[in-house]
Amino acid sequence: MTEVENLLALNMIEGLGPSRLRALLDHFGGPQEILKAGRSQLKAVPNIGQTLSQAITGARETIDLKRELRLIERDRVKIITVFDEKYPANLKEIFDPPILLYVKGELLPGDIAAIAIVGSRRASLYGRSTCESLSYQLASYGISIVSGMARGIDTAAHRGALKGGGRTIAVLGSGLGSIYPPENVKLADEIASSGAIVSEFPMERPPYKENFPRRNRVISGLSLGVVVVEAAQRSGALITAGFALEQGREVFAVPGRADSFTSKGTHSLIKQGAKLVEGPEDILEELGPVLERYGRALETEAKIEKPLEPRLNEEERIIHDCLTEEPSHIDEVVGRCDFPPGQVLSTLTKLQIRRLIKELPGKMFVKIAISHQPSAISKKRKAES
């Protein structure tokens, strides 16, 4: 077997994480030597006990490497080891980088200018809208957006970057052959065509709960800083922020409503010294010196366009302006705009068809953020990719 195949086999052994694998590599000199070692030799390495030594010596019989290689080929996945030149420079800096990465799509040198955006799976409309807009604007400045492709804020972060024609990287807590959550399979394909899907787990590894802290350290490790948009007091997003601090990354937080459950974590971060983010300029101010350290100038000529104004008649404009991104009941809307209820309901239906508003259960209505035009730099980046 090749060195990469030997590393793949070792990576498929459950319980053998990057720290232990690195210790074995340092001790034996290479993956082939590890797989050839006897049980007593393996147990001599710190933190390699009876169970792991048995798993390693029995790997050739218990691990279906041929199937793994077939899946890698079928899904056009690339394997990048920590010893490769193409291994992400940011990630290589952290304490325990993955020994190998499964990559669908492309990781580029320019991805060193990356920001992670993470947050609650149970995000509010405000959180998703704010996140998507922030991600879009950062992408228009040539910043790659990193997130975990989870429901809620993560999904909004990837979608914002894609809408802006920028690059985005999704780090999974499962194998690339077990996309999670399942409703994001199509989004995963879009991300792979405009960036990369990344995992350190074998192709068919399910999304076990214990995988996600490991995933979170990679999200922060790939990035220059982490932005938290909505997070409860105990949240995976806060774990990612913790990893960011350990790794010497910048930590940012977007404030939310004082009475919101999903604002508790972000407000706690701000109290502890995280930079408050109201717009992309708050992040870019901090990034400038860090980017200079890597010899990369920020693409400051990028323009952040205002949303396209919809063409509405006077009645539609008034009713549209009566709505916000917070849900309003139909009775509230009628009271604000002073039109007859039937007229308001008819106009709301027209606005809904044009995807300018959305109806929620209980006759509640919200305004939808209007799509942006791709900037010149976004178009250029898309053409180059």
Mean per-residue pLDDT, 32-36:
95
CATH of the domain at 362: 1.10.10.10
Q: Indicate the residue among 63, 84, 112 that finishes a domain.
A: 63
Kindly report whether the global pTM for this prediction surpasses the value 0.85: no
Interval 43-83: pLDDT, tens: 999 989 899 999 999 988 899 999 999 999 999 999 999 99
Gap between the Cα atoms of 327 and 125, Å rounded: 9
Residue 292 pLDDT > 80? no
CATH of the domain at 3: 1.10.150.20
Question: Looking at the domain assignment, is residue 328 inside a domain?
Answer: yes
pLDDT score of 383: 44
Question: Looking at the domain assignment, is residue 94 inside a domain?
Answer: no
Gap between the Cα atoms of 242 and 248, Å rounded: 10
Gap between the Cα atoms of 229 and 131, Å rounded: 7
Is the same domain home to 286 and 321?
no
Residue 158 pLDDT > 90? yes
- Domain range for 195: 103-293
Among 206-210, 213-217, 276-280, 372-376, where is mean pLDDT lowest?
A: 372-376
Is the same domain home to 135 and 235?
yes
Q: Grade residue 356 by pLDDT with cuts at 50, 70 and 90.
A: confident
CATH of the domain at 227: 3.40.50.450
Assign 3-state DSSP to the chain and report helix, strand, coil percentages, each to 5.
Answer: 50, 15, 40
Is the same domain home to 3 and 139?
no
Interval 185-211: pLDDT, tens: 999 999 999 999 999 999 999 999 999
Q: Grade residue 295 by pLDDT with cuts at 50, 70 and 90.
A: low
Is the same domain home to 261 and 346?
no
Q: Indicate the residue among 264, 293, 322 that finishes a domain.
A: 293
Is the same domain home to 109 and 247?
yes
Question: Looking at the domain assignment, is residue 355 inside a domain?
Answer: yes
Mean per-residue pLDDT, 97-117:
96
pLDDT score of 308: 44
Is the same domain home to 145 and 281?
yes
Question: Looking at the domain assignment, is residue 299 inside a domain?
Answer: no
Residue 228 pLDDT > 60? yes
Question: Looking at the domain assignment, is residue 127 inside a domain?
Answer: yes
Q: Is 241 helix (H, G, I), strand (E, B) or coil?
A: helix
Q: Grade residue 384 by pLDDT with cuts at 50, 70 and 90.
A: very low
The total number of structural domains in the chain stands at: 3
Question: Looking at the domain assignment, is residue 376 inside a domain?
Answer: no
Question: Looking at the domain assignment, is residue 74 inside a domain?
Answer: no
Residue 385 pLDDT > 80? no
pLDDT score of 293: 65
Is the same domain home to 28 and 115?
no
Helix ranges, the chain (H): 3-11, 18-28, 31-36, 39-43, 50-57, 59-62, 65-74, 89-92, 125-140, 153-163, 185-193, 211-221, 236-246, 264-271, 280-293, 314-321, 330-337, 341-353, 376-384
Q: Write out the DSSP string of 126-148.
A: HHHHHHHHHHHHHHHTTPEEEE-
Is the same domain home to 230 and 343?
no
Q: Looking only at Cα atoms, what is the longest distance across the chain?
A: 84
Is the same domain home to 151 and 278?
yes
Region of 111 (left: φ > 0; alpha: ψ -120 to 50; beta: rest) is: alpha
Is the same domain home to 209 and 286?
yes
pLDDT score of 246: 94
Is the same domain home to 253 and 359?
no
Number of residues in the chain: 385
Q: Grade residue 361 by pLDDT with cuts at 50, 70 and 90.
A: confident
Is the same domain home to 247 and 280?
yes
Q: Is 71 helix (H, G, I), strand (E, B) or coil?
A: helix
